[in-house]
Structure 1
Protein backbone atom coordinates (compact mmCIF):
# COMPACT_ATOMS: atom_id res chain seq x y z
CA UNK A 1 0.00 0.00 0.00
CA UNK A 2 1.27 3.45 -0.83
CA UNK A 3 0.87 6.59 1.25
CA UNK A 4 -1.86 8.07 -0.97
CA UNK A 5 -3.97 4.93 -0.64
CA UNK A 6 -3.38 4.84 3.11
CA UNK A 7 -4.65 8.44 3.40
CA UNK A 8 -7.75 7.65 1.32
CA UNK A 9 -8.49 4.49 3.30
CA UNK A 10 -8.10 6.34 6.60
CA UNK A 11 -10.52 9.10 5.53
CA UNK A 12 -13.08 6.49 4.49
CA UNK A 13 -12.63 4.60 7.76
CA UNK A 14 -13.04 7.74 9.89
CA UNK A 15 -16.12 8.86 7.95
CA UNK A 16 -17.73 5.44 8.44
CA UNK A 17 -16.97 5.50 12.18
CA UNK A 18 -18.79 8.84 12.40
CA UNK A 19 -21.63 7.95 9.99
CA UNK A 20 -20.44 10.88 7.89
CA UNK A 21 -20.43 11.12 4.12
CA UNK A 22 -17.46 12.61 2.28
CA UNK A 23 -19.77 15.50 1.32
CA UNK A 24 -20.57 16.16 4.99
CA UNK A 25 -16.85 16.05 5.76
CA UNK A 26 -16.26 18.56 2.97
CA UNK A 27 -18.71 20.95 4.60
CA UNK A 28 -17.38 20.47 8.15
CA UNK A 29 -13.73 20.72 7.11
CA UNK A 30 -14.19 23.59 4.62
CA UNK A 31 -12.41 21.51 1.98
CA UNK A 32 -13.87 21.44 -1.55
CA UNK A 33 -15.77 18.27 -2.45
CA UNK A 34 -13.58 17.98 -5.54
CA UNK A 35 -10.46 17.84 -3.33
CA UNK A 36 -11.88 15.05 -1.17
CA UNK A 37 -13.07 13.20 -4.27
CA UNK A 38 -9.61 13.38 -5.86
CA UNK A 39 -8.00 12.05 -2.64
CA UNK A 40 -10.51 9.19 -2.30
CA UNK A 41 -10.20 8.26 -5.98
CA UNK A 42 -6.40 8.25 -5.71
CA UNK A 43 -6.18 11.08 -8.25
CA UNK A 44 -4.45 13.54 -5.92
CA UNK A 45 -0.69 13.24 -6.33
CA UNK A 46 0.01 14.61 -2.87
CA UNK A 47 -2.75 15.64 -0.49
CA UNK A 48 -1.00 18.36 1.48
CA UNK A 49 -0.66 18.40 5.23
CA UNK A 50 -2.80 21.57 5.43
CA UNK A 51 -5.64 19.73 3.69
CA UNK A 52 -5.23 16.70 5.93
CA UNK A 53 -5.22 18.99 9.00
CA UNK A 54 -8.49 20.58 7.84
CA UNK A 55 -9.99 17.11 7.35
CA UNK A 56 -8.85 16.15 10.85
CA UNK A 57 -10.53 19.27 12.23
CA UNK A 58 -13.73 18.30 10.42
CA UNK A 59 -13.48 14.78 11.83
CA UNK A 60 -12.74 16.05 15.33
CA UNK A 61 -9.34 14.38 15.62
CA UNK A 62 -5.70 15.47 15.76
CA UNK A 63 -3.06 14.91 13.09
CA UNK A 64 -1.27 12.33 15.29
CA UNK A 65 -4.57 10.45 15.68
CA UNK A 66 -5.04 10.43 11.90
CA UNK A 67 -1.63 8.88 11.28
CA UNK A 68 -1.60 6.53 14.31
CA UNK A 69 -2.48 3.32 12.47
CA UNK A 70 -0.57 0.15 11.56
CA UNK A 71 -0.79 1.12 7.87
CA UNK A 72 1.10 4.37 8.44
CA UNK A 73 3.60 2.76 10.83
CA UNK A 74 4.37 0.16 8.15
CA UNK A 75 4.86 2.89 5.55
CA UNK A 76 7.46 4.52 7.78
CA UNK A 77 9.40 1.26 7.91
CA UNK A 78 9.32 0.93 4.12
CA UNK A 79 10.77 4.43 3.68
CA UNK A 80 13.80 3.78 5.90
Structure 2
Protein backbone atom coordinates (compact mmCIF):
# COMPACT_ATOMS: atom_id res chain seq x y z
CA UNK A 1 0.00 0.00 0.00
CA UNK A 2 1.30 3.48 -0.81
CA UNK A 3 0.70 6.76 1.02
CA UNK A 4 -2.18 7.87 -1.23
CA UNK A 5 -3.99 4.54 -0.79
CA UNK A 6 -3.48 4.59 2.98
CA UNK A 7 -4.71 8.19 3.17
CA UNK A 8 -7.83 7.39 1.14
CA UNK A 9 -8.51 4.33 3.30
CA UNK A 10 -8.10 6.38 6.49
CA UNK A 11 -10.60 8.97 5.22
CA UNK A 12 -12.99 6.18 4.25
CA UNK A 13 -12.72 4.64 7.73
CA UNK A 14 -13.31 7.99 9.45
CA UNK A 15 -16.38 8.62 7.30
CA UNK A 16 -17.78 5.19 8.15
CA UNK A 17 -17.05 5.63 11.88
CA UNK A 18 -18.90 8.93 11.93
CA UNK A 19 -21.65 8.11 9.45
CA UNK A 20 -20.57 10.87 7.07
CA UNK A 21 -21.13 10.61 3.30
CA UNK A 22 -18.43 11.95 0.97
CA UNK A 23 -20.65 14.85 -0.16
CA UNK A 24 -21.25 15.80 3.47
CA UNK A 25 -17.51 15.59 4.15
CA UNK A 26 -16.88 17.99 1.28
CA UNK A 27 -19.37 20.49 2.75
CA UNK A 28 -17.93 20.18 6.26
CA UNK A 29 -14.36 20.69 5.00
CA UNK A 30 -15.03 23.46 2.51
CA UNK A 31 -13.91 21.29 -0.40
CA UNK A 32 -15.68 20.54 -3.64
CA UNK A 33 -17.26 17.09 -3.90
CA UNK A 34 -15.02 16.40 -6.92
CA UNK A 35 -11.94 17.00 -4.77
CA UNK A 36 -13.15 14.52 -2.17
CA UNK A 37 -14.13 11.91 -4.77
CA UNK A 38 -10.77 12.33 -6.53
CA UNK A 39 -9.06 11.11 -3.36
CA UNK A 40 -10.57 7.69 -3.99
CA UNK A 41 -9.71 7.60 -7.72
CA UNK A 42 -6.51 5.58 -8.22
CA UNK A 43 -5.83 7.36 -11.53
CA UNK A 44 -5.58 10.79 -9.87
CA UNK A 45 -2.36 12.26 -8.60
CA UNK A 46 -1.40 12.50 -4.95
CA UNK A 47 -3.41 14.37 -2.34
CA UNK A 48 -1.95 17.61 -1.03
CA UNK A 49 -1.19 18.05 2.64
CA UNK A 50 -3.35 21.15 2.55
CA UNK A 51 -6.35 19.04 1.49
CA UNK A 52 -5.63 16.51 4.24
CA UNK A 53 -5.45 19.35 6.77
CA UNK A 54 -8.87 20.64 5.65
CA UNK A 55 -10.26 17.13 6.01
CA UNK A 56 -8.75 16.82 9.49
CA UNK A 57 -10.31 20.15 10.43
CA UNK A 58 -13.66 18.84 9.20
CA UNK A 59 -13.30 15.72 11.33
CA UNK A 60 -12.05 17.91 14.22
CA UNK A 61 -8.84 15.92 14.57
CA UNK A 62 -5.19 16.89 14.28
CA UNK A 63 -2.85 15.77 11.53
CA UNK A 64 -1.08 13.71 14.19
CA UNK A 65 -4.31 11.91 15.06
CA UNK A 66 -4.99 11.30 11.37
CA UNK A 67 -1.59 9.77 10.68
CA UNK A 68 -1.34 7.84 13.97
CA UNK A 69 -3.04 4.77 12.59
CA UNK A 70 -1.75 1.29 11.71
CA UNK A 71 -2.38 1.99 8.00
CA UNK A 72 0.66 4.26 8.00
CA UNK A 73 2.98 2.04 10.04
CA UNK A 74 4.15 -0.33 7.30
CA UNK A 75 3.96 1.66 4.07
CA UNK A 76 6.08 0.60 1.14
CA UNK A 77 8.88 2.92 0.07
CA UNK A 78 7.75 5.44 -2.54
CA UNK A 79 9.95 5.30 -5.66
CA UNK A 80 9.57 7.88 -8.40
Counterpart residue number, 1:74: 74
Equivalences, count: 78
Q: Which has the higher helix share?
A: 1
In 2, Cα distance between equivalents of 1:27 and 1:56: 13
TM-score relative to the length of structure 2: 0.89
Q: Tell me the residue number matched to 2:65.
A: 65
Q: Which residue of 2 aligns with 1:42?
A: 42
C-alpha distance in 2, partners of 1:43/1:37? 12
- Evaluate the alpha carbon distance shift between residue 57 and residue 71 of structure 1 in structure 2; reply closer, same or farther with a 3 A threshold: same
1:40-70 Cα shifts (integer Å, max 9, x gaps): 1223311000000000011111101111111
Runs of 5+ unmatched residues, structure 2: none
2:27 corresponding residue in structure 1: 27
How far residue 73 of structure 1 moved from its aligned partner, in angstroms, is 1.6
